[in-house]
Amino acid sequence: MKRKEFILNLLYSVVPMILIIPLSIWALSQMSKGAYDCFFVMGTSMEPYLSGSENQSTYGYSDNSDKAIDNLKRFDLVICYYPFEGQNDYEMPYNRYKPILTETATLKVKRVIGLPGDKLTIDNENFSITDKNGITENYNEENCPFKRKTPIENRKADVKKLEDNEYFVMGDNWTKNGSLDCCNPSAKATKYEVLYRENIQGVIFKLEGNCTYGPLKHCKSCKKVVDDDVKECSCGSTKFLVYNDIIEKRPYEDGPIYIK
């Protein structure tokens, strides 16, 4: 009996350790990778689904882990940079194996339309996707699984075959100048572009609500928000930056990320 109790006690103490230690290490590694980000939307490229005006900015959370990006499904929302010429997100010429962000790089939110292996045919408001198993789905205004902002004015007819690691992303705002995306990387471009996996920063998994944002004066040194007329921050710095930040319902103290 004593021996049985001893073994049971040992099991109760050892088994949780065996489970807890790897879980903690995993959780820590996820945290140090910055696995989750809080974002808020600035800009209209994802209208009508997401709002990005000063008075109504959608905010939520993204999962930046490799696992989330590996498990991307069609029509998921991703946060990404663009490798397109003229977008100033990466140093040019763009090297997809070693992309280097510029100081002016800005994150964007887009919807994943095409996954690796897909063939996409886009003809103004209608599009069809043949997946890697050869199954074709046709989407028009009525059966499109997400609501787009139309009229479509800048979606020229084109066919795109996606290779491994290539994605096709678009904003839901399909009006002229609505969304800069794989369909319309720049006014001069004649062909569709693709987004490489290396450009995807995270996958949106939760929308929390709406907040307001506006231009606020930040201390360049300690990053604190100060009043407009302050000449010297309490930390002693006299250098300031003005940029958009959440004013109300600030969901996350230490730096939400801003997406367009």
Interface with Zn ion (CB under 5 A): 219, 221-222, 233, 235, 237
CA distance 11 to 199: 46
Least separation in angstroms between residue 256's CB and Zn ion is: 20
Least separation in angstroms between residue 242's CB and Zn ion is: 14
Give 144's contacts (C-beta < 8 A, 6+ positions apart): none
CA distance 246 to 255: 10
Residue with tokens 């004013």: 247
Least separation in angstroms between residue 233's CB and Zn ion is: 3
Least separation in angstroms between residue 54's CB and Zn ion is: 25
Beta-carbon neighbour count of residue 72 at 10 Å?
17
Least separation in angstroms between residue 37's CB and Zn ion is: 24
Least separation in angstroms between residue 216's CB and Zn ion is: 13
CB closer to Zn ion, 8 vs 225: 225
Whether residue 48 has a cis bond before it, omega within 30° of 0: yes
CB closer to Zn ion, 132 vs 224: 224
Task: Give kind and range of the element (H or E) at residue 136.
Answer: strand 136-139
71 burial via Cβ count (<10 Å: 0-12, 13-18, 19+) = exposed
Residue 187: C-alpha distances to residues 46, 183, 190 (Å): 19, 10, 8
CB closer to Zn ion, 73 vs 231: 231
CB closer to Zn ion, 95 vs 234: 234
CB closer to Zn ion, 177 vs 221: 221
CB closer to Zn ion, 51 vs 237: 237
